[in-house]
Chain A
Amino acid sequence: MAQVVIRNLNKKFDEVHAVKDVNLQINDKEFMVFVGPSGCGKTTTLRMVAGLESITSGEILINDTVVNELPPMDRDIAMVFQNYALYPHMSVYDNMAFGLKMRKFERTEIAQRVQEAADILDIGQLLKRKPRQLSGGQRQRVALGRAIVRHPQVFLFDEPLSNLDAKLRVQMRVELKKLHNRLGTTAIYVTHDQVEAMTLGDRVVVMKDGVVQQVGAPLELYNQPANRFVAGFIGSPSMNFAKVALAEHDGAVWAEGPDFRIKPPAACAGRLRGHAGQNVVLGIRPEDLRVANGSDPTELGFDAVVEVTEQLGSEILLDLKAGPGSMVASVEPTVPAKVGDKLRLALNPDRLHFFDAQSEAAI
C-alpha cells in the first residue's frame, strides 16, 4: 500500500519559480505519468518526491506521512535515472545488491532477491559483467533491476527510456507496462514523450511552466483537453488550431473564419452561445478530418489545397493550406491525393474543440 499526496508544492531556484502550487494524489498501485515540455517542472517535482531537491513550500506525503524532511534513504522509494546511473566499478550483481547491502540484508536474502529480479528482467546471464560491457538496453534493465530488488513503496522514473533508440524504446515501454502489472507498485514516471505518457499512464499529469494543466486518464486528456496547451501537446500529429469568430444567425451559432464558415452541431452550440460575438480558437485533430463525399453537409467542411503529402503506410498525412490556415489531416492510405490538389474536407462534428482566445481554457 503506498499513496503519494502532494499538497501546494512549490519550488523556487533563486529567481525561477520552477514548480507552482502543485496538488496531486497518486493512488496505491497507480502508474502516474508527468508529461510536459522541457523545463516544465516535472523532473523537479519528481526529485522533490525522491528527496533529492529541497521543498520551498508545501507538503509531500507518502502513506500519510509527511516526508518533507526525510532523507532519500528513509522514504522507501527507488529511482531509475535517465543516464541509468549504474555504479561503473561494480558488477551487475553488486549494482543490484548495493541497496540491500546498505540496508543490512542477509547475504542469502540478497542473493535470492537479486536472482528473482534478474529472472524477471531476463538479465541472469549478465550478473558478473561490468556496466561498460553492456548495451544500452541491458543497462536499462539493470537499472530497473536495481530498483525492483528493494521492493520499495514507490518507483520513480526520470525519463528512463530517452537514451534508447526508437525500436528499443517501444520494446522497453511494453516491458515496463508488464512489470508494473506484475508488481503493482505505485509508480511516478516523468517523460517529455506524449506517446509514452499515453501508453504507460493510468493517469497523466500534463505540466507547463511549473503549473499542472490537467490530470486525467490518457483518453480523457485526448478527448476532453482542459485547455489549448493540453490539446496541442497530447496527440500526434498535434491538433490543428484556427482562429474563428462566433456569430449567431437564424438562431444557430456559426464559427466563421476568413474563407470558411462552419456550423457546430447542436450539442456544443449551447456552450458556445455564451461566447457569441467573440473570437475563439477552434481545434480539430488531424484524425478527425477526412476528404468529403457528396453526402456530407456543407456547413461542416471547408476547401483546402494539398501542400505536402507524407506517406506513412497505414495513413497519409496531408499538409494543407485551407481557409482556417495551415492544417494537417490524417486520411486513409487509399486517398489519391497529390501536391496541388484541391480538396473538400469534412469535419467530424462530434470532435470539435473550442478554446477561449484569451484564457485558452476549453469552452
Chain B
Amino acid sequence: MIEGAPWRRWVFFYIPLTLFVFVLLFPFYWMLITSFRPDGELYQPWNSPRYQPFFTANPTLEHIKGLLEETLFSTWLWNTMIIASLSTVISLFCGVLAGYALSRLNFPFAGSLGTGIFITYLVPQTLLFIPLADIIRNFKLGDTPWSLVLTYPTFLIPFCTWLMMGYFKAVPKELEECARIDGASRLQAMIYIIIPVAVPGIMSAGIFAFTLSWNEFIYALVFLSSPQEKTVPVGVTSELIRGDVFFWGQLMAGALLGSIPVAIVYSFFVEHYVSGLTGSVKG
C-alpha cells in the first residue's frame, strides 16, 4: 500500500487505478450500450444536435430479438459450447497425464520433451491452419464440429501440459511417496492424492482452455463454411457484416451474449482460479 500523505495515495494509487479500470471496462460498456440503442440513434452523424453517444434514453431489445430470431445465433452458441467443452475435456485429460509424467516420472529426455511440447505451442495458428486444413480435408471432417474439436487440442494440450507440469512440481513429492507406502499403486496415488490436490491447477488450465477455444477465430473461419455449423465469433462476424454494412446493434448484442457464458465460468471458478495461478498447496 502507498504510505504517506493522502494526496500521494490519490496520485499513485486511486487515479491510476481508475484510469486502468476505465480503459479496461469501456469497451464492454460500449458493447452493452450499443446492444440496447435503437438504430435511429446508432446511425446519427456525430455532429447531429441530438447526438449522445454515452447513454440512450430509449433502450430497446430489438437487436437481441433480431439476433435470436433472424440469425442462427442460438445454434452458433450451442455449437461453440459443445466444441469448447469437448476440446477442453480432451486437452485437460491429455494435459494432466502428460504434465504428471513430465514432472514426476524421471524418464530419459523428459526435460527436452517438455521444452519440445512448449515450442509447438509457439507455432502461430496462422501458419498451422494450412497443414491442418489439408488433414481435415483428407479425413473428410470439413464443415463438422469435429474439425475444431480435434484441432483445438493442437494448441490447448501443450498449454495445459505446461500449466500442469508447473503445478505438479509444486505438489510435495512426499505426498505421493506416502501414498505409495500406504499401499497405493502409482496410478492410485495419482487418482486419490495428486489429482485432488491439483484441482485448483486443473481448474485454471480448464478455464484457460475453455476461453481460448470459445474465442478461437481462425480455425473456425477456415474449417467451417455452412452457417448452421459456425461458432459465435465466426458466425457473428460473417453473417452480421454483409458487404460493407455493419449491423452494429446485432453485432454488439452477439458479442454481449457470447461473453456471458465465459463470464459465468470465470466468476464460478474464480476462487480456484486465483489460488491455481499462485500455485498454493495447503499442506
Contact at A87–B193, with CB atoms within 8 Å? yes
- Interface of chain A residues 132 through 168 with chain B (CB within 8 A): 132, 146, 150
In Å, the complex CA distance between A98 and B175 comes to 12
Decide: A103 near B183, CB < 8 A? Known: A85-B174, A85-B178, A87-B175.
yes
Contact at B178–A81, with CB atoms within 8 Å? yes
Contact at A132–B282, with CB atoms within 8 Å? yes
Contact at B181–A83, with CB atoms within 8 Å? no
Contact at B281–A81, with CB atoms within 8 Å? no
Nearest opposing residue in chain B for A132, CB measure: B282
Instruction: Verify if B185 is at the interface (C-beta below 8 Å from A).
Output: yes
Option from B182, B197, B282 in Cβ contact (under 8 Å) with A146: B182
Decide: A52 near B172, CB < 8 A? Known: A87-B193, A89-B196, A131-B283.
no
Contact at A102–B175, with CB atoms within 8 Å? no
Instruction: Verify if B192 is at the interface (C-beta below 8 Å from A).
Output: yes
Interface size on B, residues (CB 8 A): 21
Nearest opposing residue in chain A for B192, CB measure: A98
Interface size on A, residues (CB 8 A): 27
Q: Residues of A contacting B172 with CB < 8 Å?
A: 83, 85
Stretch at the interface among A70-78, A195-203, A333-341, A346-354: A70-78
Instruction: Verify if B177 is at the interface (C-beta below 8 Å from A).
Output: yes
Decide: A99 near B183, CB < 8 A? Known: A85-B172, A88-B197, A89-B196.
yes
Contact at B283–A83, with CB atoms within 8 Å? yes
Q: Scoring B residues 150 to 189 as 1 if CB is less than 8 Å from chain A, else 0, what string do you get? A: 0000000000000000000000101101111111110010
Nearest opposing residue in chain A for B193, CB measure: A87
Task: Name the distance in Å between A206's Cβ and chain B's nearest Cβ.
Answer: 25
Contact at B177–A85, with CB atoms within 8 Å? yes
Contact at B181–A72, with CB atoms within 8 Å? yes
In Å, the complex CA distance between A238 and B192 comes to 47
Contact at B197–A89, with CB atoms within 8 Å? yes
Task: Name the distance in Å between A98's Cβ and chain B's nearest Cβ.
Answer: 5
Task: Name the distance in Å between A331's Cβ and chain B's nearest Cβ.
Answer: 45
Q: Residues of B contacting A78 with CB < 8 Å?
A: 181-182
Contact at B180–A88, with CB atoms within 8 Å? no
Contact at A73–B185, with CB atoms within 8 Å? yes
Contact at A81–B197, with CB atoms within 8 Å? no
In Å, the complex CA distance between A131 and B182 comes to 18
Decide: A83 near B174, CB < 8 A? Known: A71-B180, A78-B181, A132-B282.
yes
Q: Residues of A contacting B178 with CB < 8 Å?
A: 79, 81, 85, 87, 146
Instruction: Verify if A50 is at the interface (C-beta below 8 Å from B).
Output: yes
Option from B175, B181, B199 in Cβ contact (under 8 Å) with A77: B181
Q: Residues of B contacting A318 with CB < 8 Å?
A: none
Instruction: Verify if A86 is at the interface (C-beta below 8 Å from B).
Output: yes
Q: Residues of B contacting A75 with CB < 8 Å?
A: 181
Interface core residue of B182, B193, B197 (most chain A CB under 10 Å): B182
Q: Residues of B contacting A150 with CB < 8 Å?
A: 182
In Å, the complex CA distance between A77 and B180 comes to 11
Q: Residues of B contacting A103 with CB < 8 Å?
A: 183
Q: Residues of B contacting A51 with CB < 8 Å?
A: 181
In Å, the complex CA distance between A85 and B183 comes to 15
Task: Name the distance in Å between A298's Cβ and chain B's nearest Cβ.
Answer: 59
In Å, the complex CA distance between A132 and B281 comes to 10
Contact at A88–B181, with CB atoms within 8 Å? no
Task: Name the distance in Å between B225's Cβ and chain A's nearest Cβ.
Answer: 47
Decide: A98 near B179, CB < 8 A? Known: A83-B283, A89-B197.
yes
Q: Given known contacts A72-B177, A83-B283, A99-B182, what 18 new A-B pairs fall within 8 Å (CB)?
A: A50-B181, A52-B177, A73-B181, A73-B183, A73-B185, A77-B181, A79-B181, A81-B177, A81-B178, A82-B174, A83-B172, A86-B283, A87-B179, A98-B184, A98-B192, A99-B183, A102-B183, A102-B188
Interchain residue pairs with CB less than 8 A apart (30): A50-B177, A51-B181, A52-B177, A72-B177, A72-B181, A73-B182, A73-B183, A78-B181, A79-B178, A81-B178, A82-B174, A83-B174, A83-B283, A85-B174, A85-B178, A87-B178, A87-B193, A87-B197, A88-B281, A88-B282, A88-B283, A89-B196, A89-B197, A98-B179, A98-B182, A102-B183, A102-B188, A132-B282, A132-B283, A146-B182
- B residues near A (Cβ < 8 Å) are 172, 174-175, 177-185, 188, 192-193, 196-197, 199, 281-283
Question: Which 7 residue pairs are nearest across A and B when measured between Cβ atoms?
Answer: A99-B182, A102-B183, A85-B174, A85-B178, A73-B183, A89-B196, A72-B181
